[in-house]
Amino acid sequence: MDSGRYSKFLFLNQVSGSLFRELAEDVANQIGPSDLLTGYKYEINRFTNSRLTIIEAPEYDRKTVMTRFLSWIKYFIAALRVSFKSHPATIIFIVSNPPFLPLIGYLLNLLRRQRYVVLVYDIYPDILESLGEIKKNGFIALLWRAFNRHVWSKSEIVFTIGEYMRNNINTIIPTEKISKVIVIPNWADESFIKPIEKEKNWFAIENSQINKLTVQYSGNIGNTNSVKTIIDAAIIMKDDIDICFMIIGTGSKWGIIKKNIIDANLTNVKLLPFQNEDIVPFSLATADIAIITLEKGIEGLSVPSKTAYAMASGAALITISCGMNEISDVVTNNKCGINIEPGDSEGLARAIRYFKENKEYLSSCRENSRKSMELLYSRRNIQQYIFLLLRLSEQ
């Protein structure tokens, strides 16, 4: 960080993908010079504006629970060091991962009245409780919620990405502070991610998808994603040669999925690694149907960012989630797909076959998906952040 340069905002996000970098970039452009501390080391192809300085930090290692925790600690130390070097007037913008990262804002506010805002992407400890990784309402969970209550209360704004998530945050934050909680849905850059005909899409051609109904899962293959349901559906549909399941990504469950594919001798599944940013527009546009998943119990605690990206590509959606939540509301309210319950592989197979046999319905869902994204989940959503952060920076 250039000590002679006053940064309006310091963004702390260990895994800054396209979505968050677009936010940081637009804030820097429209409000003032800013810094982004990130451990995301993939080449940044679309961000060249010098008003945003990107500072390299320890990368997130998601291989095991231990590597994840150690990489969190390394990033936290780096973020603590950079934050204390920042100008006291710089506003710290902190995401909720690593889960203890907002402590930095709390400490800076306590020690030198430095202001901070928090963006809650995932609600902890609730996710760990739902996954059975810590005891529900045990000592750790109660202590963690007390921590959240204090940190969120001191934050100037608590941003989150869904209405159900806001409702859950409101049960933790003091009643008089609820007005601080602001919902701004995630987005996709509609000029970067867009529909491409398969015949004109080199990725589709290279992966032999021209004459296939491509059912794609693209993104993190982790603990909050019900990917096993997809593999089980692929087993059910293994003799349908017109349908290809394409799973693209990385995460803690990637190895398990690979083993499942090999053990079941599935020739109708393509498992591909994470794709670099310049390939993503072509990989996403290969999908006729995009699958968005949430493990049971994660509803209202997280919202997959891949939802808006899939919609931008013009794919119909199949959401795998339980009850009412942000992603099931998307398909219902925008008439762009079907929701099934986690674990219902038979239901997933039926939904895919329904799309295959009803081409007009598939076409309608795909069209509604793109149109709804342009209306509700485009990059214009960043302007809601700009409005609030500009007002805050002028105070």
**Mean pLDDT over residues 332-337, rounded?**
97
CATH code 3.40.50.2000 region(s) in the chain: 9-187+379-393, 198-376
Tokens 């968050």 appear where?
Answer: 20
**Mean pLDDT over residues 80-88, rounded?**
95
Higher pLDDT, 128 or 354: 354
User: What's the CATH superfamily of 198-376?
Assistant: Glycogen Phosphorylase B; (3.40.50.2000)
- pLDDT bucket at 225, cuts 50 / 70 / 90: low
Q: What is the pLDDT of residue 64?
A: 73
pLDDT at 41 over 60: no
Residue type, 180: K
- pLDDT bucket at 168, cuts 50 / 70 / 90: very high
Secondary structure (DSSP) of 373-394: HHHHSBGGGHHHHHHHHHHHHT
Peptide bond into 185 cis (omega under 30): no
pTM: 0.91
Q: What is the pLDDT of residue 219?
A: 86
| CB 369, CB 311: distance < 8 Å | yes
- pLDDT bucket at 3, cuts 50 / 70 / 90: very low
| Digit-coded pLDDT (tens) for 118-143 | 999 999 999 989 888 889 999 999 99
pLDDT at 34 over 60: yes
pLDDT at 363 over 70: yes
- pLDDT bucket at 331, cuts 50 / 70 / 90: very high
Whole-number percent of the chain with pLDDT over 70: 94
Nearest to 35 by CA among 48, 17, 14, 52: 52
pLDDT at 4 over 60: no
Domain 9-187+379-393 has CATH 3.40.50.20: no
Q: What is the pLDDT of residue 69?
A: 82
**Mean pLDDT over residues 344-357, rounded?**
96
Across 116-135, b (16+ Cβ under 10 Å) vs e yields bbbbbbbbbbbbbbbeeebe
Tokens of 357: 């046999």
Tokens 């998906």 appear where?
Answer: 369
| CB 1, CB 85: distance < 8 Å | yes
CA gap 158, 177 in Å, rounded = 10
Going through the chain in order, the beta strands assigned E by DSSP cover 9-12, 34-38, 52-56, 91-95, 116-120, 158-160, 181-183, 213-220, 243-250, 269-273, 289-293, 316-320, 337-340
| Digit-coded pLDDT (tens) for 256-268 | 888 889 999 999 9
| Digit-coded pLDDT (tens) for 187-204 | 999 999 999 999 999 999
3-class secondary structure, 288 = coil
Judged on CB neighbours under 10 Å (0-12, 13-18, 19+), 375 is: exposed
Q: What is the pLDDT of residue 223?
A: 62
